[in-house]
A and B are shown apart, each in its own frame.
Chain A
Amino acid sequence: MTPTVQTHSDPDLRSAGLRGVAADFGSDQRAFKTASWGKAMMWIFLLSDTFVFGCFLLAYMTARMSTPVAWPNPSEVFALHVGGQDVPLILIAIMTFVLISSSGTMAMAVNFGYRRERSKTAALMLATALLGATFVGMQAFEWTKLISEGVRPWQNPFGAAQFGSAFFMITGFHGTHVTIGVIFLLIVARKVRRGDFDEERRGFFTSRKGRYEAVEIMGLYWHFVDLVWVFIFAFFYLW
């Protein structure tokens, strides 16, 4: 029975587990049976982005492990002077909470999108964009503070010179991703609010009919940006 089910149109008859993986990849026309091409392509893009950030973190690891000079203590470098005492890493902690909150609002926007609640979806996406912009703003503040303290890609007053290059490279690339995400969010939020996905209006660029799945695909990108921050927070700021 099982070897023939993958060609069956009834999704309930698709096999599960490893047999399902083999059946899906060996089947006709498409391997990802339940993910649309848009979703699959976003996932594949995110996979490639994973390698980009993976290589950045690896370069940072290599620089940190191979220098005989002491690495600056991020707990002290990123401390803020609040209420008469230094609170370690406090700005980074707030940035983490802001980004996680934006992921929460994004997940709910996707949910309301599939319920076709247009105004709630758009409002939650705008909230996500606002939190994202807040994150970028705080990052700009952090960069300004470090630059004014003399941190450069080639030197810094705290320790190993590679600290600056790793910091600007990794957080800069991540901040760029957040910024692109905010722009992307605003574009999709506008489409949602205008009702493009309800009346299947064609997109200005692709001329394809819009669907609420666009919100979920947008969400994949946004959650990925949050995901990368989880790794940066762990390896760069906490390690």
Chain B
Amino acid sequence: MSETTVHAQQSGQHHPIRLYLAVWGLLFALSAFSYMVDYLGIQGYLRWSLILLFMMLKAGLIVAVFMHMAWERLALVYAILLPPLLVLVFVALMVSESNYTIFTRLAFFGAAS
């Protein structure tokens, strides 16, 4: 973090309106792109990677600029943004669990009804 931004925080966040309008426009464009993924019927790995890409870009812009995380000190950034990454461990657990569940359902209850 540069020293000028530390100064800016002493009396709240001061940024030019232009910056917010630019991010607003970008969010609009990214939302349009993710809608187009569905509209054009893109399937498979390309669909999933595009959805995740646009999702992460939108989330990053909202958190960094609209929520001013880009100008906070690293102590707050790490305290807030690192814990949610642990959800990914939970995801890994549940993917494994789901695979086991569907395996048992198919093995013992036959195919889909």
Contact = CB atoms under 8 A, between A and B. Distances in A.
Interface in A107-129: 107-108, 110-111, 113-114
Nearest to A92: B35
Interface stretch (A61-69, A131-139, A143-151, A201-209): A61-69
A220 B101 CA distance: 39
Interface stretch (A12-20, A164-172, A174-182, A183-191): A12-20
A233 interface: yes
Size bin of chain A's contact surface: 35 or more
Contacts of B39: 88-89
A238 B6 contact: no
Interface in A182-239: 212-213, 216, 219-220, 223-224, 226-227, 230-231, 233-234, 237-239
A11 B6 contact: yes
Interface in B10-34: 10-15, 17, 20-21, 23-24, 27-28, 31, 34
A51 B87 contact: yes
Interface in B63-96: 63, 65-68, 72-76, 78-80, 83-84, 87, 90-91, 94-95
A65 B48 contact: no
Contacts of B83: 47
A7 to B, nearest CB: 15
A100 B54 CA distance: 14
Contacts of A173: none
A16 to B, nearest CB: 5
Contact of B75 (A21, A114, A219): A21
A70 B111 CA distance: 11
A234 B35 contact: no
A93 interface: yes
Given A11-B7, A21-B78, A212-B12, A231 B27 contact: no
A66 B76 CA distance: 38
B76 A11 contact: no
Given A34-B72, A239-B48, A66 B101 contact: yes
A54 B38 CA distance: 23
A219 B62 CA distance: 11
A31 interface: yes
B105 A20 contact: no
Contacts of B84: 47, 50-51, 54
A40 interface: yes
Contact of A227 (B47, B59, B99): B59
Q: Give 7 closest A-B pairs by Cβ, nearest first.
A: A65-B98, A24-B75, A104-B24, A66-B101, A234-B55, A68-B112, A66-B98
13 contacts: A12-B3, A21-B78, A34-B72, A47-B80, A54-B90, A75-B41, A107-B24, A107-B66, A110-B13, A212-B12, A230-B59, A233-B31, A239-B51
Interface of B: 1, 3, 6-7, 9-15, 17, 20-21, 23-24, 27-28, 31, 34-35, 37-39, 41, 47-48, 51-52, 54-55, 58-59, 62-63, 65-68, 72-76, 78-80, 83-84, 87, 90-91, 94-95, 97-99, 101-102, 105-106, 109, 111-113
Given A62-B101, A114-B11, 9 more contacts: A34-B10, A34-B72, A58-B91, A68-B109, A69-B112, A70-B112, A89-B38, A108-B17, A111-B20
